Amino acid sequence: MFENLSDRLSGVLDKLTRQGALSDADVSTALREVRVALLEADVSLPVARDFVKKVQEQATGQAVTKSVTPGQQVIKIVHDALVTTLAGDDINAGELKIDSPPAPILMVGLQGSGKTTTTGKLAKRMTDKMGKRVLMASLDTRRPAAMEQLAVLGMQIGVDTLPIVPGQTPVQIAKRAKQQATLGGYDVYMLDTAGRLSIDDELMEEVAAVRDEAKPHETLLVVDGLTGQDAVNTAENFDSRIGISGVVLTRMDGDGRGGAALSMRAVTGKPIKFVGLGEKMDAIEEFHPERVAGRILG
């Protein structure tokens, strides 16, 4: 019984006594295991297929360094390819464009994805780590409880929230948030848009109207990292209709193997900027491709 991919690959490859270069056959054998492991980690089939093809091209014919076994060598090639795919060309994953105050950040996503929690986490992070003055506003006009939730969160973490004025539309609230942020000398204002249980035209039109009004410097999509392929479909949908600048994957403290991250990056081309790692307000960190690669490899 092999426990994880690293062990499986070593098991398959190290039995063969190799000298010189990795042969096509060795690499193919190993990559069959890689493909299964990716699928088990909830990477979508086309993404897993493309990835394996890329690795195959890189690995075939590579000289096996004397100090390592063929198994270790393939693991390293796979690991490095995972990191490259996950990272894309972003060197600074967790950086937000918030230089020109007051910088609007639009938070979008489905209900229950962790959007409001993430809004609070990022606001706290910018306040504590970067010394920014942040204002948060809830635009969830259909759910008064959601507006209250943000106000309570703000009090808990010491971040100001825009006072609730009943009867205003999301666009009106966005306007008021900008005014207050300008007058109050805030560096950043965050607009926590309404979520729905599924994507519908009404939601998208509402978010698009807010986007047109606020002209956000960042539009962050919050998605549940445990939902695998659904998370990727949600991201494609929001990106084509709203245009997102980055993704926050929540619930990465859960049991998922992180495959959604790989599909997300490969399919949408948008950077994963942060990952949520729990319910506490400091349970968020910048996206580290190596950590997710390690998790996928097991």
Q: Enumerate the known binding-site residues for GTP.
A: 109-116, 192-196, 250-253
Where do runs of H (alpha helix) occur along 106-162?
115-130, 144-157
Edge to edge, the sheet with strand 188-192 lists 160-161, 134-138, 188-192, 103-109, 218-224, 246-250, 272-276, 284-286
Q: Which stretch binds ligand GDP (CB under 6 A): 22-30, 50-58, 65-73, 248-256?
A: 248-256
Contact with ligand GDP (CB under 6 A): which of 80, 230, 253, 285? Answer: 253
Residues of span 175-204 touching ligand GDP by CB under 6 A: 195
Residues of span 33-92 touching ligand GDP by CB under 6 A: none
CB 137 within 8 A of CB 208: no
Task: List the one residue out of 111, 129, 91, 127 whose CA is nearest residue 273.
Answer: 91
Q: Which stretch binds ligand GDP (CB under 6 A): 54-62, 86-94, 155-163, 250-258?
A: 250-258
Hey, which residues does 167 pair with through a beta bridge? none
Secondary structure letter of residue 69 according to DSSP: -
> Cβ 277 to ligand GDP, closest distance in Å?
6
Residues of span 96-135 touching ligand GDP by CB under 6 A: 109, 111-117
Torsion, CA 154, CA 254, CA 94, CA 101, rounded to 10: -20
Looking at the Cβ atoms of 193 and 268, the one nearer to ligand GDP is 193
**Interatomic CA distance for residues 131 and 121, integer angstroms:** 14
Contact with ligand GDP (CB under 6 A): which of 73, 250, 263, 268? Answer: 250
Per-residue binding string, ligand GDP, 254-293, x by CB under 6 A, is ----------------------xxxx---x----------
Looking at the Cβ atoms of 159 and 277, the one nearer to ligand GDP is 277
Q: Indicate the residue whose CB is closest to ligand GDP.
A: 276
> Cβ 55 to ligand GDP, closest distance in Å?
30
Q: Dump the DSSP string for 159-207.
A: -EEPPP-TT--HHHHHHHHHHHHHHTT-SEEEEE----SS--HHHHHHH
Provide the CA 175 distance to its chain's centre, in angstroms: 28
> Cβ 123 to ligand GDP, closest distance in Å?
13
Q: Which stretch binds ligand GDP (CB under 6 A): 67-75, 154-162, 209-217, 247-255?
A: 247-255
> Cβ 222 to ligand GDP, closest distance in Å?
6
Residue 95 backbone dihedrals phi, psi, to 5 degrees: -85, 140
Looking at the Cβ atoms of 7 and 285, the one nearer to ligand GDP is 285
Residue 227 CB burial class (10 angstroms; 0-12, 13-18, ≥19): buried
> Cβ 230 to ligand GDP, closest distance in Å?
14
Q: Which two tokens stand for residue 125?
A: 């992070």
CB 239 within 8 A of CB 221: yes
> Cβ 193 to ligand GDP, closest distance in Å?
10
The SS3 assignment for 34 reads helix
Annotated binding site: which residue ranges? Answer: 109-116, 192-196, 250-253
> Cβ 142 to ligand GDP, closest distance in Å?
12
* Residues near ligand GDP, by CB under 6 A: 109, 111-117, 195, 250-251, 253, 276-279, 283
